[in-house]
Amino acid sequence: MKTQRLGHALTIITFCVFFTIAVPARADNPLFQQGQVFEQEQHWTEAFSAYSELIKQEPTHAAAHYRLGVVSDRLGSTESALKLYQEALRLQPDMAEAKQALEGYYMRQGVAFRRNNQSEEALRAFQQALIYNPASASTHFEVGQEFEQRKQFDEALSAYKESLKLDPNNSGPHTRLATIYSAQGQYEQAMQEFQEVLRLNPRDPAAHYGLGVAYNAQGQREQALASLKQAVRLYLIAGKREEARPAYTLQKELESQQGTPASSGQKKK
């Protein structure tokens, strides 16, 4: 369960951290200005020296700690960068740049832990990222994925719904909600979510297939067939023959039953 939006969000965070040079707090010190010039020229070692010297002279210079963190990150000293961002935020609690840097750090940590199948550590990292940016729809989505992976479905549903509050036009949380509802036999809710996915992305074959399965579970055979046929068509257009197979199999099964009344016991809520 991965999302393309995560990569996009991390790209934005990384760009902002590395290239937002202007930090208004006490940025008129000559050493600070010198460090900025070195950064713009990508002379990272010289920038590191300038900001380090400034911090020796002014230990409470929050912006210098933040910029030194950015440079340390560039030089591969990730843990040092983390401590510098945290110190910058301690000195200036409203520094948005430091919060963004810390959010990005923990998001990257979460992704790395997930790749290593360390679910508990990944969940903690994503939750830590939320501390620095509670309004991140993509981070709430990642938290939801971890809860879903751990079969903590109530927590997953809550996280996905929060993600949708923050970004209503993202089909990803709708897809995950629909999948959970279907697995729990809550087909009416699942249909509503699949329909939202298709409102946002009408050519999503997986959503058409999921909707067809839900219609069939509700005993709505004609609607199920229409959705399944659309799923098969879109899968084949995309060259995904194997993915089309389950939808095609169910479609043929329902077509073979045409003319036979749907069982009243088949309809579920």
pLDDT tier at 249, thresholds 50, 70, 90: very high
Mean predicted confidence (pLDDT) in 69-79: 95
Residue 222 within any structural domain of the chain: yes
- Supply the CATH number for residue 188's domain: 1.25.40.10
Q: Tokens 């301690």 map to which residue?
A: 90
How many secondary structure helices (H) and strands (E) does the chain include? 14, 0
Cα separation of 56 and 234, whole Å? Answer: 63
Domain finish residue from 67, 94, 121: 94
89 in any annotated domain = yes
pLDDT score for 259 = 66
- The pTM for the full model equals 0.79
Residue-level pLDDT at 102: 97
Tell me, yes or no, whether 13 lies in a domain: no
pLDDT for residue 225 is more than 90 = yes
Structure confidence by residue, pLDDT tens digits, 100-132: 999 999 999 999 999 999 999 999 999 999 999
Last residue of a domain, one of 60, 94, 128: 94
Question: How many domains are contained in the chain?
Answer: 2
Does 238 fall in a domain?
Answer: yes
Q: Given 73, 94, 115, which residue is the final one in a domain? A: 94
- Average pLDDT of the chain? 90
Query: C-alpha distances in angstroms, 50 versus 16, 169, 184, 214?
Result: 21, 45, 59, 62
Domain that holds residue 179: 169-257
| pLDDT per position as a tens digit, 7-54 | 545 544 544 444 444 444 455 789 999 999 999 999 999 999 999 999
Q: Is a pLDDT exceeding 50 seen at residue 61?
A: yes
The pLDDT of residue 261 is 56
The rounded distance, in Å, linking the Cα atoms of 203 and 238 is 10
Phi-psi category of 71—alpha, beta or left, where left has phi over 0 and alpha has psi -120 to 50? alpha
What is the rounded average pLDDT of the residues 196-200? Answer: 98
